[in-house]
Structure 1
């Protein structure tokens, strides 16, 4: 009474036809006696542990079913001690009250996550298959007799009685209708005079004849399988949950058709009208394992589990965080990956980008970026390793960039003039690929990056440049308002001052021009004047004077007049909104001019 505040509505977490369930905190000792924590001195009770518990207060019904269920649960759970069956901590049977005290299972029931609900997370297909397999193993455990436990027929398998712990592992609860079968007669059929269970899940043969056996639980489980399948598919295609596009199925668990077919086939078999035609739980488990294997072997499956990502990032530790944006954080980590050629698993170093799923912008930016990464694959665009769309999380996993972001090297003299030109060529090539619509080259499929800057350029171990941060990308025929709104985003200085309201492909070209000027001057974008200023002041300047007045001191001696003139000219060319093909050609000319000038120096020596 004390722990539940006199069975207060504020403590209530569930209610059914046979009782009400409350959440409370108790001290549980090794002997399972329980007390509210405010009534004992914890220091005097070394064998007691604070537990959050579920307290089920059973109704005293006229038909005595409440008392029968109370006694049945005590009998079943005292014989059935297993990590994946809800534990019974204790009971109270006094003053006409019948109360059971269970372990509290933190993520509620499976029913909470299927169909229409207000849960902040949605279960994806891969998770639901694993939960289905968990349940099947638990039912098999109940159906198998051992020296310590007889065969148990649950009689009320349903999604409301499947509980999910903090690791999303399924546990079976509510044994009020359960029946024991003699240990040496576990295959026999019981004949019951009272039909018990939940109507929608009820075995039709048992309902009509009173004949009860393990196949009755199989039928109920078949209904659960269909609830899971239909509920998950609804989450993947419901336009009220996520903007509909062709990637919905991929983004919500990498749905594989073979996997779905295998899963639905065994679900149908569980729902056979007669008990004799239904499969055993051993067969069900085998088929569910095949469905999961098909999912894992799918070539299109890029989904990475949240558990693996948490391990890789030490649960998103600040020590692993390498960069922050307005709507995301990035982490270093190592993800286990299957090596099919060598038939073993290895780890890959990756970048993990975790979007703020609580904001309106975060999930939309996740969808935008992953869609572009799937469609636009190029050596100068960062590669997608995988993604995670579990438990409300929206996470993208990229290939690792050993040398980090380009903005680290703007004022670093160790990044040579030749490396800077090559990096600029890489960026121009990646941007051209986006703008021309990828491999198809269809104009109407071209993209605007929307955030070209040195901080968006990753450098691999060989100093190859990779364009990243594609969360603001959009089709060129659909210009969007500029979404950056602060210095902390690192984009000021790259924005074309003549296009403050909308971005276009020309806006990306302007930003590329600023990036080229950063590489040449060794000054960050926010320290630079607009490109028009450099055109007016230095447009007709002698290359030697340009090097002396504008070039980065750390690399001045490496810059030839010819390569300086060409690269600086390209930067101004970008500011005039010219085409990207000419930009690549002119940058390559700047590289050749630098190589040629070095050859001359070597010859003279």
Structure 2
């Protein structure tokens, strides 16, 4: 149950996805996404068995980065954080493109708020020899640094092709974590490192990058957990190594294959119903010089192959999912079928009785109004934001059910009573726009320079997560300061999603006639209905400018008329006296308590976003 509960709550491209389950005769059967290339241990073991199968240097570095990114997500961006506790190569699966998927969360542990400094003690020490950190084996100490140790061993296996713990006839048991220290200390390090690295690579790797990888792994497996780096720090180093690896060995523009038979994507045998769903891990190109007919339904839209004269067509990778109602399903039943199956994926919402909401909000009294249709509610000592909804909000609900990020507002429950009511986590410090507005109104409340930078980073991290680490990716489409909430520590929480899913067949581009946004935050391209991830980048740039200047995205001036905030920043950064002009642009409530050099860098970044 612990693994199911965890996988229901998280969404990351490098974590295996749980898609369903079945309970039959007391046994529970779980259905996961399929990893076409098996486990990492299978590939490394095939080299020990002198198989012709091998992973290239570039694949190994990418796998290390993918695993590091997944662990960093668990440690820093899920709410609450988690420790995997069982990191090893057999729990790292590889998809069709050899991208890593972290699996087997049976030992995973939630980091509770009452864990002092993230430290937990256990008497039940379970793991695999060679991957377990010394403090865990000896004293049962569980911290995020336990995963860092395991990750270091995985990197060493990727480098060497050896097992984490192996028996040598002469030397006895050899731990890989100990071997790397001997390699990197003393003389002839380059020669010793070449002898340590997997011979199946046949010296086809950059030695300087291999040395950097080995040094990083060595830091991860030191005995003192406090001396090990955090996963966020490790990821910075791996990002540089991966970037240098791609420069060293760039990919071809296209990867093509040919043969007498096309690659099989899915088998649909003995079909008796009218609707079939094809699910794939990535966008694929399929030859269709054959007789085809029928409808393929994916995510509330139909894809009908009517003309088979074309040589290729693309298949997206989504299925029906999310919060829905019987009425909605009946409306989407094109064949008037008598029986409908409704599957709730990632169900983790609490269903509340309307009476509970009345009691929690003082019968939706004025004293508990936060803003608009938002009410403050108290549930067993915890505060939540209760929102009474009008119209169809299924897209926002579907998205918030599927994702888990510490800088995205969390949906915790709902109630169906005349109007739909939803419960969100409570943002103690209201919205960013409220704070910037208080500055404009000469209130004593103000955000410090440090708080503004932290807020900008939080928002960027949330948007980057939506664009690159949810499956499928999403575009927020409504990025502005009133949709950025601040918790008790002034950490940003992204809210109010007009989000659009990026389909595999979009090529990152979508056209819409329904343009909804706020003047000043809207990308000029959206005036033509063009929707891409760069739409969010533009909105983010405007948010940065508001954080810098304390001004509104679009403000009226009696003499000059309306001026959009992204227009004056170009004038500020051009020509002479940039430093003086920037000081005049920056929010006066900061009282010059900021580093001007960094302010210039932030303004330049915002300018690039708003081009």
TM over 0.5: no
- Report TM bin, short chain: 0.3 to 0.5
Larger Rg: 1
TM-score (norm 2): 0.35
Relative to its length, the structure with more helix (as a share) is 1
TM-score (norm 1): 0.35
